[in-house]
Structure 1
Amino acid sequence: MAGKEAKLLSLGIMATRIHAEELYFTRIAQASEEAGILVFRFCPDQINIQEKTVYGDEYDYRSRQWVPKEIPIPDLIYDRNFRGLTWQSDEKIQWLKKETVFLGYGLPGKYQVFQILTQVDTLIEFLPPVNKVSSPEDIWRDLAADRKIMLKPEFGSRGTGIYLIESKANGWVVRMTKQEGGFERLFDKKTELDKWLRYLTAHYPYLTQRFLELSNVQHEPWDVRILVQKDSSNAWKERIRGVRIGRKHCITANLAAGAEVVPFNEMLNEFSPQLQHKIQESIEHIIQHLPHELETRFHRLFELGIDLGIDKKGDVWILDINSKPGRKIMERLDPENLHTLYKAPSLYSTFLMGELLKAGD
């Protein structure tokens, strides 16, 4: 049996916690059996650089369970490790990237991504202006220019840490989305808001983005999430396109704060036929060009969650790009095709190993 196992390709899923995304990882393991791939899950702190091994759980196809085990570094890595609001370069992860093959190498911070994309002629019209915050003075400057700005963490995801700041006659209103809905606070003294901004930006790197009016006729915030993945021939495939509709008084359509998910056509139908055509063309253009341009300028990617906003004029804006996207949109709108997501890592792993063998690596 040992000889047989040695010939099998191994795929390691690197997670923030060993039991994170439990059902998703289990389904990936089960879908990988047909491809003859051993699936292993682990956390970065369990990497042993000296021994070139990693400790975690291997999925046992006979017992249909995860079994604790120490194994050599897997042939390929599917990175599902989330870092939070700060970017901490992990020595073990950097070592691992040199030692083995990642399905996708992820993206750097939002500012670097958006700055690079502003150099792409085919995409620049879809990018809202973004500025890096070095100190609260940068935020005050942008507020003086626009009076209403979004404050976003450079390394945040899932709507965490996003604020809307608006200048009013009686002070400044700061709004955010919480699990129970919208929350706002009035700062009537500049010194008080400045103190809060200094505390916030001292702990996390932030960006400012021009406020865009992205809401439906009921004044509920909404955005479009598109999930794309590589297939077995290295081609990008759109898996799902859906719309998140947030609660009134919230500034984002955050699923964790109770946003609902509806099919894309429900959003599209709120626009005139002329604008519908414009919107469709813009989105198809973005899907066609964005993944390719990102890979050309950064590293190989396996999947992307592309968040788009559509304003009242039918202009489409790239709000965020996530190289470790979630699956809730597909779970709610197209659950019968979730198997395509479960099979995707093993199919792409097989493609990558085939290309490496051809290259002689």
Structure 2
Amino acid sequence: MATRKHAEEPYFTKIAQMSEEAGVQVFRFCPDQIKIHEKTVYGDVFDQQLRQWIPKDFTIPDFIYDRHFRGLIRNSDEISHNIKWLKKNAVFLGHGLPGKYKVFQSLSKIDSLSRFLPPTNKVRIPEDIWLDLSIHSRVMLKPEFGSKGTGIYLIENKENGSLVRMTKKEGGFERLFDKKAALHKWFRYLIEQCPYLTQPYLELSNAQGKPWDLRILIQKDSSGMWTERVRGARLGRAHCITANLAAGAQVIPFDIMLKGFPLKLQGKIQESIDHIIQHLPHELETRIARLFELGLDLGVDKKGDVWILDINSKPGRKIMELLDPDNMHKLYKAPSLYCTFLNAELLKAGE
């Protein structure tokens, strides 16, 4: 299930091509094409003989790999209604995650993970941002449903006003608000567009002052066990506040990032990362819903403390394409293999 019919087309085509061995037939569709009363959907079916997608109406597939992205704002009522209905009439490989605030709230109650979470507050009115600024002096504003670094701002108190910084494709962008009323008005405009969160600014940069973070991609395998697919670092450009690939960050092997820290901290960093990978997926599934894959974004500060920056239940694959292209076939096969596992589990349960 995709946002647009031809979204992620190379990826979906590879999945469909490699599903034949598992005995899985692959369809693609968008949620606005679901016909609830007929229990059908208009989309494409992949023809293994022709090796291409064929448009047609078909009954709702047994299993859904959800790659529909909501963006910064909520889905339309029709799409939300269709997806809610679909979840009652098909088995989703992974149910996805709610907004970032709910996820952080859930994890903050877990002793084994809470120490890796930066303090996170929900913004309801502009005064919430001002309060955090009075406490921390530098605050990150993040959209609750954002991805790829879109809509993230760093607000910093200065002697002559407040500096707002963000990352764009062209590089860093900043604007100084010398009047509180103007910034207050901008805060109000921002939170009217989509829900926002605040977090204290964390110094997550290398020796040259370039922002960097760590992306780890994990998936369930054919036996339903979590497996790490790739671990790589994203190195942003100078004067940027985030290290996002969409804004021109480069990908480097994790080992290179690790060597950027003193030897005495490297063991601590490794241990923290391994701990998060071991516990976080299970805790999320226990408290929220079944998951199929996760992209974990972690930051490491100057003291070697590891922070959970974001958790994406519909992660991209760019880091694996760049760092481990020879194993991309594992990603393409994973959805159909996990389908066969879920099917066997349902048969055992008599469903």
TM-score by length of 2: 0.98
- Matched to 1:188, the amino acid is D
C-alpha distance in structure 2 between counterparts of 1:37 and 1:202, whole Å: 44
C-alpha distance in structure 1 between counterparts of 2:54 and 2:225, whole Å: 34
Q: Note the 1:77-92 alignment, pairs <5 A.
A: 77-88=64-75, 90-92=80-82
Q: Which of residues 273, 276, 285 is equivalent to 1:286?
A: 276
2:287 matches 1:297: yes
Once the two structures are superposed, what CA deviation does each residue of 1:294-330 show, in whole Å capped at 9, x if it has no partner?
Answer: 0000000000000000000000000000000000000
The aligned counterpart of 2:101 is 111
Once the two structures are superposed, what CA deviation does each residue of 1:167-198 show, in whole Å capped at 9, x if it has no partner?
Answer: 10000000000111110000000010011110
The aligned counterpart of 2:266 is 276
The aligned counterpart of 2:178 is 188
- Matched to 2:296, the amino acid is I
The aligned counterpart of 1:169 is 159
Identity %: 72
The aligned counterpart of 2:16 is 29
Q: Which of residues 41, 45, 53 is equivalent to 1:66?
A: 53
Give the 3-state SS of the residue equivalent to 1:292 in structure 2. helix
CA drift at 1:87: 2.8
C-alpha distance in structure 2 between counterparts of 1:271 and 1:256, whole Å: 26
CA drift at 1:274: 1.6
The aligned counterpart of 2:334 is 344
The aligned counterpart of 1:148 is 138
C-alpha distance in structure 2 between counterparts of 1:223 and 1:251, whole Å: 11
The aligned counterpart of 2:301 is 311
Gaps spanning 5+ residues in structure 2: where?
none
Q: Note the 1:107-256 alignment, pairs <5 A.
A: 107-256=97-246
C-alpha distance in structure 2 between counterparts of 1:107 and 1:265, whole Å: 30
2:246 matches 1:259: no
C-alpha distance in structure 1 between counterparts of 2:9 and 2:151, whole Å: 26
The aligned counterpart of 1:17 is 4
Once the two structures are superposed, what CA deviation does each residue of 1:59-83 show, in whole Å capped at 9, x if it has no partner?
Answer: 0001101000110000000000000
2:307 matches 1:320: no
Give the 3-state SS of the residue equivalent to 1:336 in structure 2. helix
C-alpha distance in structure 1 between counterparts of 2:171 and 2:56, whole Å: 43
CA drift at 1:273: 1.8
C-alpha distance in structure 2 between counterparts of 1:29 and 1:229, whole Å: 18
Gaps spanning 5+ residues in structure 1: where?
1-13
Give the 3-state SS of the residue equivalent to 2:102 in structure 1. helix
- Matched to 1:23, the amino acid is P
Give the 3-state SS of the residue equivalent to 1:63 in structure 2. coil
TM-score by length of 1: 0.96
CA drift at 1:257: 1.0
Once the two structures are superposed, what CA deviation does each residue of 1:126-182 show, in whole Å capped at 9, x if it has no partner?
Answer: 000000000000000000111100000000011110000001000000000011111
Superposed CA RMSD in Å reads 0.6
C-alpha distance in structure 1 between counterparts of 2:290 and 2:111, whole Å: 21
CA drift at 1:86: 1.6
C-alpha distance in structure 2 between counterparts of 1:119 and 1:200, whole Å: 29
Give the 3-state SS of the residue equivalent to 1:172 in structure 2. strand
- Matched to 1:204, the amino acid is C
C-alpha distance in structure 1 between counterparts of 2:91 and 2:239, whole Å: 45
> How many corresponding residue pairs?
348
Stretches (4+) displaced over 6 A: none
C-alpha distance in structure 2 between counterparts of 1:18 and 1:336, whole Å: 28
C-alpha distance in structure 1 between counterparts of 2:33 and 2:16, whole Å: 20
CA drift at 1:91: 0.2
